[in-house]
Structure 1
Amino acid sequence: MKTVLVVDDEALILDLIATALEEAGYRVLRAAHGIKAMDVLAAERPDLIVTDYMMPLMNGQELAVAVRSDPQHIALPIILLSGAQSFLARGRRDLFDAVFEKPFDVDELTAEVANRIGAA
């Protein structure tokens, strides 16, 4: 089963994304911020990360930099969800495989996950 790590400090958005991905057949790991996501990465091997940009403790870009600096995870696909900061991320193809602006379409996000790692 393919595994997706979803990182967002807004519980409703985290639950929305996780539920959609689980209904599509993916195993979902959850983290409320980037530091927790790094803890999850130390214990698990997800196939893809979906992360918010604005979060406490470690934002989505800082998380992506940390992930890309680890040789074990350098090729791990990362999808960023962002509101006003999406313009910052669009120029960082070295960090993000796709960028979705909030509000986003959950079905399009699920399709992008499938496009990146295959169907669940």
Structure 2
Amino acid sequence: MDKKIMICDDSKEILDLLAIILTAEGYLIETESESSRLMSRITKNIPDLLILDLWMPIINGEQILKLIKATPALSNIRVILISASLDGKLAYKSSNADDYINKPFDIDDLLSKVTAQLT
């Protein structure tokens, strides 16, 4: 069975880049640029992994992560936070996320962290 990854980021360029990289590795990819639609989408089609931008308009990544972890049907989704913010690493350490990636990211680092979460 192929692993499903949902990517949520308000940057279309980041969404496209991550989708290209991860599709080439054989993952099934879905993307969402609107944080307000993410919970509905993952509830209908639960991914194996969520790559979640920390700083987004409307609902930020920390708020989404809290909702996911508080929802029993979704609480086992592995979550990698991604951010260009200097505070991103601190937010990751205080959250229930499974890993963290800095933007700009190294492709090898991205792939090793994704693989680690999906094995």
- Assess same fold via TM > 0.5: yes
**Which residue is equivalent to 2:97?**
96
**Which residue is equivalent to 2:48?**
47
- Whether 1:56 aligns to 2:57 is yes
Counterparts of 1:46 and 1:115, CA distance in 2: 15
* Deviation, structure 1 residue 86: 1.1
**Which residue is equivalent to 1:82?**
83
- Superposed, 1:12-51 pairs within 5 Å as 12-51=13-52
**Which residue is equivalent to 1:117?**
118
CA contact (8 A) 1:49 1:79 kept: yes
Q: After TM superposition, what 4+ stretches of structure 1 lie above 2 angstroms from structure 2?
A: none
Q: What is the identity percentage for the equivalent residue pairs of Structure 1 and Structure 2?
A: 29
Counterparts of 1:106 and 1:35, CA distance in 2: 28
* Deviation, structure 1 residue 91: 2.2
Partner-residue secondary structure (3-state), 1:64? helix
* Deviation, structure 1 residue 34: 2.2
* Deviation, structure 1 residue 83: 1.8
What do the CA deviations read for 1:55-77 (whole angstroms, capped 9, x no partner)? 11111111101110100111211
Report the number of matched residues: 117
* Deviation, structure 1 residue 24: 0.3
User: Structure 1: which 5+ runs fail to align?
Assistant: none
RMSD over equivalenced CA pairs, Å: 1.3
Counterparts of 1:51 and 1:33, CA distance in 2: 11
Between the two structures, name the one with larger relative contact order (CA 8 Å, sep ≥ 6): 1
User: Structure 2: which 5+ runs fail to align?
Assistant: none
CA contact (8 A) 1:3 1:28 kept: yes
* Deviation, structure 1 residue 90: 3.1
